[in-house]
Structure 1
């Protein structure tokens, strides 16, 4: 499994701190709320070779992610766990610390590998203190790295005024119908890696004639073509599925060579947001 080095870049020295090796492909577990659903999905993914699991307190399944990790028999250090501070909980330095501890208790783990702010705090005046809380979680060893999710370029730029270290990752919706070159460039410009959620646009576009034509030419499914496009764009990619065959099929996406389809993929761009879009909030 390909890995990439993530780091939190110092705003004073530009030094890359708290470096960690992160798998470039993983399983997202959004909307896995039925009892046992998330646990069985994570166990199957780990058996197939996945080593990155992306959860969040908002998903209500951190406990099952932790159970699956323990039951898998795979050494903890070989699995990269991402979870997130809920936007409604992103209110203060102190609450950030409390919620991080709560996530660790839910997971049943001593540390997480990456802790993200799920979306920019609604209270603009709280953004500095929340990030400073994230920095304390990092210095306390509760997480190996800290980052953000759903941050627009203006949010990232504003962080330069209050952050000691910048995010290592910005997790945003990216897919062939929402390619976001400017936001990807802004993310990379602060020393962070782009992480792509909803690489299938929540399934909304899988019958699109354009992606279907590309898939036929490649000998893969439309879903596999979309996932591989995200991966080849340089994003850490986390398709969500609770179906064992789809979890395996998604991993097989990485085998396909998209050479020669660049123009066809470029033509799919339509700035289509399949879910929420906090990147455009003030």
Structure 2
């Protein structure tokens, strides 16, 4: 099996189904990422804040895959915002990963209380211009944060990675993304399991001979989202990857989207880090 890819607004291709390592213990990361690569994942999503960049790099280095075969994302944490701090943070992340070039670098949170994400973004633009990053994006940005970058004439982010699942469909943000050719990427794609017992999803899973998680991941793929489910269980890692084989009709996609409650499982970007 292979996963579909999406073209970012700078022409770089990103595998639509990735593997997230949020809350994967650092000591286990290399082994778990190796399992994901063996299953077929070619997109790994990490972050400084996850404390497991090194394990991601080790898994890729020890695999039979070339570096160009695996798309890797990492993220800059809030205390590293600002021009000089961002340059130093990027160098440190690249060293932990053991890479010469990073595929995608994200500002992890806008942290509006700090009001430094514009300077941080300008540092990202320089790293991109220098050829050290293939693509630059953001995470957890609100419409007004994105609009501010556009109003300043800065580079349009290729991606905004946001909490998104059937109970939080983020319609306003997704419309804005589509208008400006920003790819929507979903973290917490199954709401930490909260949506898996929903009757609409469980009934579709029975009808499709699939797991509820596979149905939800297939919904993300059908919407055009990049999606990064995480698991540390070998069977679940493989099951999630097989979501690409689940096909949903238009009315089934709409039925899942209608479950929206504007209900978060993680922090609100308006308040975090507070």
Match of 2:41 in 1: 50
Q: Partners in 2 of 1:110 and 1:168 — Cα distance? A: 21
**Equivalence for 1:191:** 181
* CA-to-aligned-CA distance 1:219-256 (integer Å, 9 cap, x gap): 11111111111111100111011111111000111101
Contact kept? 2:162, 2:185, Cα under 8 Å: yes
TM-score (norm 1): 0.91
Quote the residue 1:175 is aligned against: 165
Q: CA deviation at 1:257?
A: 1.2
Tell me whether 1:73 sits opposite 2:75 in the alignment: no
In the alignment, the residues of structure 2 paired with residue 110 and residue 219 of structure 1 have an alpha-carbon distance, to the nearest angstrom, of 43
1:12 is aligned to none
Distance across 2 between alignment mates of 1:109 and 1:42 = 16
Q: Does 1:23 align with 2:6?
A: no
181-190 vs 261-270, which deviates more? 261-270
Q: Does 1:4 align with 2:6?
A: yes
Residue 73 of structure 1: how far off its partner (Å) = 1.5
Find the counterpart in structure 2 of residue 149 from structure 1: 139
Q: C-alpha distance in 2, partners of 1:254/1:78?
A: 19
State how far apart, in whole Å, the 2-side matches of 1:53 and 1:279 are.
27
2:263 aligned residue: 272
Q: Deviations over 1:11-31 (max 9, x none)?
A: xxxxxx4x2111111100000
- The runs of 5 or more residues in structure 1 that have no matched partner are 8-16
Residue correspondences, number: 270
How many Å separate the matches in 2 of 1:117 and 1:63? Answer: 19
**5+ long unaligned stretches in structure 2:** none
**Alignment deviations for residues 6-49 of structure 1 (CA, whole Å, 9 cap, x no partner):** 13xxxxxxxxx4x21111111000001251x2111111111111
| CA drift at 1:107 | 0.4
Shift of 1:127: 2.3
RMSD (Å) for aligned C-alpha atoms: 1.6
Q: State which drifts further: 255-264 or 148-157.
A: 255-264
C-alpha distance in structure 2 between counterparts of 1:217 and 1:255, whole Å: 14
Alignment of 1:1-282 (within 5 A): 1-7=3-9, 17=10, 19-35=11-27, 37-90=28-81, 92-123=82-113, 125-259=115-249, 260-278=251-269
Q: 1:13 corresponds to which residue? A: none
Distance 1:164 1:158 in 2: 9
Contact kept in structure 2, 1:128 and 1:162, CA below 8 Å: no
Is the CA contact 1:87–1:122 (under 8 Å) kept in the aligned structure 2? no
Contact 1:168–1:192 under 8 Å retained in 2: yes
